[in-house]
Amino acid sequence: MAITTLSSREFNQDTSKAKKAAALGPVFITDRGKPAHVLLSIEEYLRISGGHRKIADALAMPGIADIEFEPPRFEMGIRPADFS
């Protein structure tokens, strides 16, 4: 995996170079010499983020029953209709 570092100026001047480099590995984009952003291919992003998770999969995780969750009760204010 190749790691590429580009300044913000280089990134702005040649985004196609940054996209090609992101296909090979992460691209660090710096502001004033300090890393500020990382450009990844979508495949790499999905790999490290766990991809698209379905709610059913999240609810089936081990230990999920131990998590306390008390959502606020929804109260709908009902008013009598005014037919005048």
The pLDDT assigned to 11 comes to 96
Per-residue pLDDT of the chain (84 residues; tens, 9 = 90+): 789 999 999 999 999 999 999 999 999 999 999 999 999 999 898 888 876 667 777 777 777 777 777 878 877 778 788 887
The pLDDT assigned to 22 comes to 95
The pLDDT assigned to 20 comes to 95
Q: Which domains does the chain have, with CATH numbers?
A: 4-54 (3.40.1620.10)
Give the C-alpha separation, 79 to 77, whole Å.
7
DSSP 12-73: HH-HHHHHHHHTTS-EEEEETTEEEEEE--HHHHHHHHT----HHHHHTSTTGGGS---PPP
Q: Is 0.75 surpassed by the pTM of this model?
A: no
